[in-house]
């Protein structure tokens, strides 16, 4: 549950008193995925160095494009859509994730210089760092690691008390195009409310109908609500950490532009 480690009282008071302006943009999922593609393209062509968006979408399931044939050939996507959970496809890796009320997303696109071989681990840590720091500012000790039984599990979830708060995935492009760098799209899905039984059941059903043997467990996830944190406090803290990144750790030089896209 709620970790109350070194709580910066002044910071917490400031965030709790922050105006209720929400940085969260609401998109249809198709538009959100299109926006992510535009962010990555803007970085890949050198137009931007570091762009980000915090967003939410309507209820659906989102699977990596690599799973499309398996899902559609089995008719599993149609069954999920008929149950009110249409399946959309993204171009980052990982597994099936939910979207909808109670979930917000952080998408970041940035350039990696080709001065050294890029590290997947470091890139995930760069994505998770503002989330971990924002939670820390609110008194929650978070770390990075796997959570068995969580949706779209991997080595780089943001976890609190061994439960998954945020899942992550990435897409890297640009190698070999003579632009001298990689462009990275990094995405984190964060839980505002606990995932519902139905949400977990719908992912299990999609897996089952697609011939994928995987069973999820609802209680291995943790949400802001369960941590006693309001969304506005968290997004305010997250915004501060995103905007403060005047020197992005993967860049040789500070990005010229840091802004919401």
Partner 1 sequence: MAVDITIPQDLWEEDREAVITNWLAGDGATVRGGKPLVEIMVEKTQFEIEAPADGVLTISRHADDIVRKGDVIGTIG
The correct pick among 45, 81, 120, 244 for binding partner 1 (CB under 8 A) is 120
Active site residue 45: no
The correct pick among 48, 80, 99, 168 for binding partner 1 (CB under 8 A) is 168
181 contacts partner 1 (rule: CB under 8 A)? no
Indicate the residue among 86 and 118 with the shorter CB distance to partner 1: 118
C-alpha pair distances (Å), 192 with each of 11, 46, 84, 116, 237: 21, 34, 21, 37, 14
Per DSSP bridges, beta strands 163-173 and 50-57 are unpaired
64 contacts partner 1 (rule: CB under 8 A)? yes
In whole angstroms, what is the distance from residue 178 CA to residue 174 CA?
8
Determine phi and psi for 79, rounding to 5 degrees. -65, -40
152 contacts partner 1 (rule: CB under 8 A)? yes
94 contacts partner 1 (rule: CB under 8 A)? yes
Indicate the residue among 123 and 223 with the shorter CB distance to partner 1: 123
In whole angstroms, what is the distance from residue 116 CA to residue 160 CA?
32
98 contacts partner 1 (rule: CB under 8 A)? no
Rg (CA), the chain: 18
Q: Of 60, 128, 140, 152, which one is the catalytic site residue?
A: 152
Q: Which residues bind partner 1 (CB under 8 A)?
A: 64-66, 91-95, 116-124, 152, 154-156, 168-178
């Amino acid at each position: 549950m709620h970790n109350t480690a070194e709580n910066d009282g002044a910071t917490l008071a400031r965030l709790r008193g922050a105006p209720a302006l929400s940085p969260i943009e609401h998109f249809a999922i198709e538009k959100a995925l299109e926006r992510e593609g535009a962010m990555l393209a803007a970085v890949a062509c050198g137009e931007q160095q570091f762009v980000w968006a915090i967003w939410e979408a309507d209820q659906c399931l989102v699977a990596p494009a690599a799973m499309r044939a398996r899902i559609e050939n089995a008719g599993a996507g149609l069954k999920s859509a008929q149950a009110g959970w249409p399946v959309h496809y993204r171009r980052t890796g990982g597994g099936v994730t939910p979207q909808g009320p109670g979930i917000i997303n952080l998408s970041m696109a940035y350039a990696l210089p080709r001065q050294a071989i890029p590290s997947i681990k470091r890139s995930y840590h760069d994505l998770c760092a503002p989330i971990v720091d924002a939670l820390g500012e609110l008194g929650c000790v978070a770390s990075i690691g796997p959570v068995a039984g969580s949706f779209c599990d991997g080595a780089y979830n943001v976890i609190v008390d061994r439960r998954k708060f945020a899942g992550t995935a990435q897409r890297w492009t640009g190698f070999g195009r003579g632009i001298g760098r990689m462009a990275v799209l990094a995405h984190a899905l964060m839980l505002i409310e606990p995932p519902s039984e139905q949400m977990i059941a719908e992912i299990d059903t999609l897996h089952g109908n697609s011939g994928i043997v995987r069973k999820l467990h609802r209680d291995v996830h943790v949400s802001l609500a369960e941590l006693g944190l309001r969304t506005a406090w968290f997004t305010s803290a997250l915004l501060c950490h995103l905007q403060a990144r005047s020197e992005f750790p993967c860049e040789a030089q500070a990005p010229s532009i840091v802004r919401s896209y």
